[in-house]
Amino acid sequence: MAQAMKYQPHTHEPQPPETSPGDVRLLLVHQRALFRETLARLLWAEPGFNLIAECASPSEGLDVLKSATVDVVLLDLTGEGGVDFIPAARDAGYEGKFLMVTPSVDAASSALALKLGASGIFLESSTSTRLLHAVRLVASGEAWLDHGLIQLLADAYHRASAPFDDSRVRISGLTSRQQTVVQGVVDGLSNRKIADRLGISEGTVKSTLQQLFAKVRVRTRSQLVRAALQGALAHIAGTANHEHAQKA
């Protein structure tokens, strides 16, 4: 459940939040309780930060954004629905920043988060001092990328020539609508923007995404992008067509 109470260090007694006009207003969304609570206490104790709430799930985070003003969302990249939270928050009207926090990174998830609008990706193995610096940079409009992630993305780009080149997601076996929706996801568009591109309702985009998730056997946008870039969609579509031909 979302927690909006503020705790004094070492006492753990709930106290009303003390805020100043220039404070950076933060929302923490992270599924791992121990890390979330540890990070929350760090942010609560830091002058200039106002932690609006800490949430265990994206759905709780969206509820907070509907009722509170937030400058930066610290978001679990590897958690269930992590990357999907970004377009959902944008569709809900959130205009602030996102800083992804993660214990490890892969090129597809990281690149998709950045394309969707994340201002940075922070490795949890880094120091608390670096995290506070990263949050301040993102809040001021700057970007944050750990050096290891920069190298990872550079290596992935070199191997794939163009990780998000349109030709790499032209997948056989999908309908024209599904094809365009996949391309919109790879382009980092929200459901609303994909709907505008196709001239259909946002509900139809959500339904098409669910069809794609079921067909490819994935659960999130980042997994769909990874499958598209690795050619898994084409393989699955080809297998399905072969099985259908055998049954005919």
User: Does a structural domain hold residue 86?
Assistant: yes
pLDDT at 193: 87
C-beta separation of 110 from 77 below 8 A: yes
Residue in the block written with tokens 């929706």: 181
Query: Do 151 and 171 reside in the same domain of the chain?
Result: no
For residue 242, pLDDT over 50 is answered with no
| Structure tokens belonging to residue 134 | 């990263």
Q: How far is CA 202 from the centre of its chain?
A: 19
In this structure, what is the dihedral angle of CA atoms 209, 75, 143, 49, given to the nearest 10 degrees?
Answer: 150
Judge whether 29 lies within some domain: yes
Average pLDDT over the chain, rounded to whole? Answer: 76
**Least confident segment among 77-81, 141-145, 212-216:** 77-81
The first and second tokens of residue 52, run together, are 């609006």
Quick one: 124 and 235 in the same domain?
no
Instruction: Give the model's pLDDT for residue 131.
Output: 93
Q: Is 45 helix (H, G, I), strand (E, B) or coil?
A: helix
Render pLDDT for 195-241 as a digit per residue (tens, 0 to 9).
998 899 999 999 999 988 888 777 777 777 767 765 533 333 334 34
Greater confidence, 235 or 43?
Answer: 43
Q: Residue 138: give its domain's CATH number.
A: 3.40.50.2300
Residue 78's Cα: distance from chain center in Å?
8
C-alpha distances (whole Å) from 129 to each of 126, 134, 149, 238 are 8, 9, 19, 50
| Final residue of a structural domain among 108, 134, 160 | 160
151-168 as b/e: b if 16+ CB within 10 A: ebbeebeeeeeebbeeeb
Angle, helices 202-216/176-186, rounded to nearest 10 degrees? 90
Total structural domains in the chain?
2
Q: Among 131, 160, 189, which residue terminates a domain?
A: 160
Give the pLDDT band of residue 40 (cuts 50, 70, 90): very high
* CB 220, CB 83: distance < 8 Å: yes
Task: Name the residue among 42, 46, 86, 50 with its Cα closest to residue 69.
Answer: 50
Flag whether 1 is in a domain: no
Do 186 and 144 fall within a single domain? no
**pLDDT for residue 42:** 93
Which DSSP string do the residues of 104-149 spell out, in sequence order? S--HHHHHHHHHHT--EEEETTS-HHHHHHHHHHHHTT--EE-HHH
Residue 206 and residue 103 share a domain? no
Domain of residue 181: give its range: 166-247
Residues with Cβ within 8 Å of residue 160, at least 6 apart in sequence? 168, 229
Residues 234, 204 within the same domain:
yes
SS3 call for 76:
strand
Q: Are residues 35 and 107 in the same domain?
A: yes
28 and 151 inside one domain: yes
Considering only the C-alpha atoms of the chain, give the largest distance between any 2 of them, rounded to a whole number of Å. 71
- Strand order in 97-102's β-sheet? 49-55, 24-29, 72-76, 97-102, 120-123, 144-145
- Residue 30 near residue 101 (C-beta atoms within 8 A): yes
Residues 71 and 135 reside in one and the same domain: yes
